[in-house]
Amino acid sequence: MPLTAQQIVTQACAIARANGFLSLAGQQLNNVLQELCLTYDIVLNRKTTTINLSTGSSVGIVGLGSGPYLLPLDYLRLDGNEIVYRVYGVPYKMIRITLEEFDSLVQQAGISNYPEQYATDLSQDAVAKWGAPVLYVWPPSGGNYQPQLRYWALQADIATPETSLTVPWFTSTNYLITRIAGEIMKITGDQRASTFLGEGPDGAQGILNRFLKLQHDDEGMAKAVSLDRRHFGKSFSRLPQTKTLGW
């Protein structure tokens, strides 16, 4: 059974022989959980959301239908490289491009269609301007579509973890206890710190490595190499120029 934040912190301090460091150990627990979000794609931390594309931008105007569309506040990065939406049950895929590539695309009336490419802006400037990370699509959306996104999230900190009964989202309590104990040992000058934090079988990094190897239930699944659809296969952007519109 997963332990609460309070139990994890208490055990870590007992192992580190630093029972007076409960508050600091609570801070370390939040730091470790945040590091796991930022550094690793852990299935326990994957979420799903839906974006409502429309012929008009949701919060601002780049090109009507192109965005920006608001992403969840806890959005870190997409799981995979493609976003899928359906029109009358038929799946359509959008592939990821950079913001610089998006900036070079044509934005004018008459090109609205099924979106085939998307770019995200996760910068602090975007969050300050729109209130959240944002997504842009191209060609501009020619209808109301609802792509489903699976993404990796930045989990919220646990308030006062040294006394909290909250169970952390990362349920490998052995790793959390060992890691926090090692971090406290670094602070107190305990020579055991490197062993507790290392890649050995009982070290925190060793425990995490074993967890990461086994977290995906994909044994026996066929693997496929995908090609960039902007250069292989059909793509709206590869159509020949016309007399009235060029790109």
φ/ψ bin of 44: left (φ > 0), alpha (ψ from -120 to 50), beta (otherwise): alpha
Q: With a cut of 90, say whether residue 183 has pLDDT above it.
A: yes
Tell me which of 94, 112, 146 is where a domain ends: 146
Residue 228 lies in a domain: no
Which residue range forms the structural domain that includes residue 19?
Answer: 5-43+156-214
| Domain shared by 57 and 141, yes or no | yes
Torsion angle defined by CA atoms of residues 117, 122, 127 and 132, in that order, rounded to the nearest 10 degrees: 60
| Domain shared by 115 and 188, yes or no | no
| Domain shared by 35 and 70, yes or no | no
| Domain shared by 56 and 39, yes or no | no
Mean pLDDT of the chain: 86
Torsion sign (Cα): 191, 195, 198, 203? negative
Q: Quick one: pLDDT at residue 3?
A: 93
| Domain shared by 76 and 29, yes or no | no
Q: With a cut of 90, say whether residue 61 has pLDDT above it.
A: no
| Domain shared by 139 and 206, yes or no | no
Strand ranges (E), the chain: 46-50, 69-70, 75-78, 82-87, 90-96, 117-121, 134-138, 148-153
| Domain shared by 197 and 128, yes or no | no
Which is more confidently placed, 69 or 55?
Answer: 69
Residue 179 lies in a domain: yes
| Domain shared by 56 and 136, yes or no | yes
Residue 231 lies in a domain: no
120-124, 128-132, 197-201, 243-247, range with the lowest pLDDT? 243-247
Tally of structural domains, the chain = 2
The pLDDT tens digits for 17-33 are: 999 999 999 999 999 99
Residue 151 lies in a domain: no
Q: Quick one: pLDDT at residue 112?
A: 86
Tell me which of 128, 146, 164 is where a domain ends: 146
pLDDT grade for 246, boundaries at 50, 70 and 90:
very low
Tell me which of 123, 146, 169 is where a domain ends: 146
The pLDDT tens digits for 30-43 are: 999 999 999 999 99
Q: Using CA atoms, how far apart are residues 174 and 11, in angstroms rounded to an integer?
A: 10
pLDDT grade for 230, boundaries at 50, 70 and 90:
low
How crowded is residue 231: how many other Cβ atoms within 10 Å of its Cβ?
A: 8
pLDDT grade for 98, boundaries at 50, 70 and 90:
very high
The backbone torsions φ and ψ at residue 89, rounded to the nearest 5 degrees and listed phi first, read 85, -10
42-46, 53-57, 64-68, 178-182, range with the lowest pLDDT? 53-57
| Domain shared by 32 and 96, yes or no | no
| Domain shared by 111 and 167, yes or no | no
Which is more confidently placed, 192 or 107?
Answer: 192
| Domain shared by 39 and 63, yes or no | no
Q: Using CA atoms, how far apart are residues 66 and 142, in angstroms rounded to an integer?
A: 10
| Domain shared by 64 and 141, yes or no | yes
pLDDT grade for 138, boundaries at 50, 70 and 90:
very high
